[in-house]
Amino acid sequence: PPPPSPRIPEPAAGIITAMLRKPARFLLILLLLGGRAGAAADDVPGPDGLVVSASRPASKVGGAVLAAGGNAVDAAVATGFALAVTYPAAGNIGGGGFMVVRQPDGSATSFDFRETAPANARPDMFLDDRGEIDTDRIEAGYLAVGVPGTVRGLALAHARLGRLPWRDLVEPAARLARDGFPISPTLAAALNRELAGPMRPFPGSVAAYGKPDGSPWQAGDRLVLADLAVTLEAIATDGPDAFYTGRNARLVAEAMAANGGLITRADLAAYTARERPPVCGCFLGHEVISMGPPSSGGTALLQMLGMFEALGLERLPADSAEAVHLTTEIRRRAYLDRARYLGDPDFVAVPVDRLLARPYLQRLAAGIDREQAADSRQLAGDLVGHPGSDSGETTHYSIVDGEGMAVATTVTLEGSYGSHVVAPGTGFLLNNEMGDFNRKPGQTTASGEIGTPPNQIAPAKRMLSSMTPTIVTKDDRVVLVTGSPGGRTIIITVFDVVTGVVARGLEGRAAIDAARFHHQWLPDRLIVERGGLPADLRRQLEILGHTVMERGSQGAAHSIWISPQTGTPLGIADHRGPDAAAAAAPPAAVGEPSP
């Protein structure tokens, strides 16, 4: 096993805990950290372990688990359940996701708990009487729900690699739901929008998330989720079977049967999570470990990194027209391969080895015109169209522990607040992941749909994903743990962070704060974060043939970056997520043993 990363003195860690417990020590921390370049004031050092997530209360739950002697997988399980309470837009037990783990000895594995199609699902289930796609069935309601995988997935990871008792990891989330927590301005506004709009047709959802007196939520109000607390307490006591059988399964199946959904008790009982080998590759002397199929994320990420290296893009200024043009072209080709080949490996033969082979990537790179943007439709040959764009209310969290284990986890409900459905009595939101399958077999159009076979609906099949939980190492030491929400922009966001750190030599905060831009083959548009592209650079790209558009922020890459100078992990919450926070495992006091 590699030697442990060097540590800095204890007073330079645990900034939050030190501030609360020992104000005098906090003054020393400020002096030690004040001159550190490239870090924001809210970045958190954590030599004894770190959790970074979209929710401050959830990060604190994970940090407490590390402090209690749990490892990074234990903290990932606890954080995941806490997010189901405190971050209802995407944190979940009614959805699914992926987890990538690197152990201190350098071995790596991944856990696939992507949702599956119910047994009664069929390829044409989202078509209306005219044979056209009915988007209303996809965006909300019971028909859109895939069989949830999160609880089985977290349980599988815990059974394989966890250390603390299961109950100790689920009970903090149950307590948060039972006792409630003060909500932020962002969450208050989001809940009010949901209750007045998408949740309104579903009484179970309004009962779960509405304010008891019917008035709008205000920042600082306490959100109590009593039904969710009952469900979580059952999971804590009886394990994952409490979710997939018994009372919970009965309530979900009854609500499905009464509202046109497809999931039965048999579907829930039959769900299994899978441990799979991650996809791995070498990029500029670093090892990149990411998620393989049924996620497209790791494969597409490694394709883009391979083409980046083949073109020598690390030698070009990142803000030059040539670099942006060439980077757009490698993205275009990776997303075309995504549409052609990727799906659930239990149902289709996904040629991952061929897609990641260096000669193949060198050929793709060599086909790029340095002076002219490609036409995406012509590049596709007989495959005309694109894979659409998932709205992607997803969330990512990153964890390292004091022993060197690293965990990257991305979970999702698909759209924001998923299907907007809470089965009465259960307390949790259900996903709308069935819309991530190809919706009309055989129809691939330039207007936004793809109908090729790899991702068509079939019973028990997992829908294709873009989630890209990723760990980067160098010389057998973790350098970066990252990932992001954002639908099909996820892969690009992770690519930007990885290349920022590895190829551009940026510190973690600088790599995460840098402006992002996106291209996904079709629609044939180069989309840039608002204000992220100087006018003269935009004109140069348009001369090269790119159609450039601006939009709001892209992704939220809550990451952990390990300083090459000190070896200290730094928790970096992406400022694009307003409620995100990092939490360090509190260090032991001088003279006391570690917890």
Point out the residues that are catalytic.
Answer: 394
Q: 280 and 287 in contact (C-beta within 8 Å)? A: yes
H/E stretch holding 207 reads: helix 203-209
Residue 41: how many CB atoms within 10 A of its CB? 8
Q: Nearest CA to 411 among 145, 77, 57?
A: 77
User: Residue 338: which of 383, 368, 370, 396 has the closest Cα?
Assistant: 383
Hunting for tokens 């289709």 — which residue is that?
348
Q: Decide if 150 contacts 268 (C-beta within 8 A).
A: no
DSSP 3-state assignment of 146? coil
- Pairing outcome for strands 222-223 and 406-412: unpaired
What is the full DSSP assignment across 109-136?
Answer: EEEEE--B--TT--TTTTB-TTS-B-HH
Q: Which long-range contacts (CB under 8 A, 24 or more apart) does 577-581 make?
A: 577/54, 578/184, 578/186, 579/54, 579/55, 579/56, 579/87, 579/184, 579/186, 579/187, 580/52, 580/53, 580/54, 580/55, 580/56, 580/59, 580/556, 581/42, 581/52, 581/53, 581/55, 581/56, 581/59, 581/60
The pair of structure tokens assigned to 327 is: 């980077």
> 312-317 contacts: CB < 8 A, separation 24 or more?
313/499, 313/503, 314/284, 314/499, 314/503, 314/504
* Integer Cα distance of 110 and 457 in angstroms: 24
